[in-house]
């Protein structure tokens, strides 16, 4: 086994990143980034939300897409987990349901990169049975 | 839940929702006493005494988005299946402690799973929450302190993908070192 990574290695990584980030992000405010929220309550986690989040972070980084991937609680769409909410800059948030790795790729390729809507959008007017 | 790390991720969401800004996770693996213990402690809002009684009921939740709250009850069921238990202590305004004990060698004890991924995910997704993680086995101890990480990172965000990948690897390698 190789040498275990330490906090000293983190320091080196930081110095390395600082120069790159300064170049890349000058003037980019968070509102101008793609924001993705992965629903991660019991229902989401049990359906594989963590794997989706890992996949999204990995894939977006590989493709050098400036995005913030974060977790959120249950959005009430337990039946359609894993769900993710994608907000493109200047657009209203859209929630996609039944997301697996293939769906996530499709969302990145079509919606995030080209703005084309893909199947699997959950209606915002969804009501729980109790409210009816 | 497929493994214990996902249970931990789930229970930590309760702490986040309870507006905690300090979450402590302690995992203890002790072969001699045959225990695998997980303690999650937060300084969130805490739980009222009369609500604490019903908290392990699967049909209890403080949420408004749905009517069931299965997180704690699923973990409790898994722990009890191995001959262990789940206990919850809470004080209003002080915080909550969830202590879960599994019998180490019981065949029904789920594996820990990707705990380095879970810790990294929580730390990166909640920059305003400090996270302490202590993992102790018969072979040694590992400590992780998000405050220390952020101090080193200075103006570099903790949710930078490269930082996330680094932290995940760092925790994984350190845990490998004390693996039983």
E-strand stretches of B94-162: 95-103, 130-137, 140-145
- With respect to residue B156, please indicate whether it lies within any of the assigned structural domains: no
The whole-number pLDDT of residue B126 equals 93
Per-residue pLDDT tens for A85-99?
999 998 999 999 999
∠A45-A49-A52 over CA atoms, to 5°? 160
Instruction: Give the pLDDT mean for A64-74.
Output: 89
Which pLDDT band, with edges at 50, 70 and 90, does B40 fall under?
very high
Among partner residues B13, B125, B174, which is closest to A70 by beta-carbon distance? Answer: B125
Its domain, for residue B60, covers 4-113+130-145
3-state SS, residue B20: coil
A120: in domain: yes
**How many domains is chain B partitioned into structurally?**
1
- Its ipTM equals 0.87
Q: For position B55, which CATH number holds?
A: 3.30.565.10
Residue A88 domain-assigned? Answer: yes
CATH number of the domain encompassing residue A103: 3.40.30.10
Distance CA B123, CA A36 (A): 16
Work out the widest C-alpha separation in chain A, in whole angstroms: 60
Does any domain span residue A9?
A: no
Is residue B123's pLDDT more than 80? yes
State both tokens at A76: 């009430």
C-alpha dihedral (B5, B7, B12, B13), degrees to nearest 10: 120
Q: Is residue A122 part of a domain?
A: yes
Predicted confidence at residue A30, as pLDDT, reads 65
* A77: containing domain: 29-131
Task: Determine the angle formed by the axes of helices A49-62 and B115-125, rounding to 10 degrees.
Answer: 70
Q: What is the mean pLDDT of chain B?
A: 92
In this complex, the residue of B71, B161, B176 whose CB is nearest that of residue A42 is: B71
Tell me the sheet residues that pair with B25. B40, B133
> Measured between CA atoms, how close is A58 to chain B, in angstroms?
7
B158 in a structural domain: no
Number of domains in chain A: 1
Q: Report the pLDDT averaged over residues B8-22.
A: 94
- In this prediction the pTM is 0.89
Q: Which of B88, B57, B62, B93 is nearest to B73 (CA)?
A: B57
Domain-embedded: residue A106: yes
Q: Residue B159 and residue A75: Cβ atoms within 8 Å?
A: no
Q: How many CB atoms lie within 10 A of CB A4?
A: 13
Residue A63 falls inside a structural domain: yes
């Amino acid at each position: 086994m190789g040498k275990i990574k330490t906090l000293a290695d983190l320091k080196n990584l930081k110095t390395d990143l600082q120069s790159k980030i300064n170049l890349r992000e000058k003037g980019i405010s968070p509102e101008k980034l793609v924001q993705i929220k992965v629903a991660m309550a019991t229902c989401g986690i049990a359906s594989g939300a963590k794997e989706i989040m890992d996949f999204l972070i990995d894939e977006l980084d590989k493709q050098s897409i400036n995005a913030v991937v974060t977790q959120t609680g249950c959005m009430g769409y337990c039946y359609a987990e894993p769900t993710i909410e994608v907000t493109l800059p200047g657009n209203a948030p859209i929630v996609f349901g039944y997301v697996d790795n293939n769906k996530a790729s499709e969302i990145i390729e079509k919606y995030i990169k080209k703005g084309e809507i893909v199947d699997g959008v959950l209606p915002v007017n969804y009501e729980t049975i109790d409210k009816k | 839940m497929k493994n214990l790390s996902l249970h931990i991720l789930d229970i930590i969401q309760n702490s986040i929702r309870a507006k905690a800004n300090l979450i402590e996770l302690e995992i203890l693996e002790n072969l001699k006493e045959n225990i695998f213990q997980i303690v999650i402690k937060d300084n969130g809002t805490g739980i009222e005494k009369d609500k604490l009684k019903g908290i392990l009921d699967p049909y209890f939740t403080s949420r408004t988005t749905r009517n069931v709250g299965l997180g704690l009850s699923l973990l409790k069921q898994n722990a009890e299946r191995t001959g262990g238990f789940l206990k919850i202590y809470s004080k209003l305004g002080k915080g909550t402690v969830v202590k879960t004990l599994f019998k180490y060698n019981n065949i029904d004890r789920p594996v820990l799973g990707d705990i380095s991924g879970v810790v990294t995910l929580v730390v990166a997704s909640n920059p305003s929450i400090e996270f302490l993680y202590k993992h102790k086995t018969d072979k040694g101890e590992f400590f992780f302190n998000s405050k220390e990480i952020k101090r080193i990172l200075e103006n570099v965000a903790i949710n930078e993908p490269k930082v996330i990948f680094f932290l995940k690897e760092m925790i994984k390698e350190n845990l490998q070192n004390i693996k039983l």
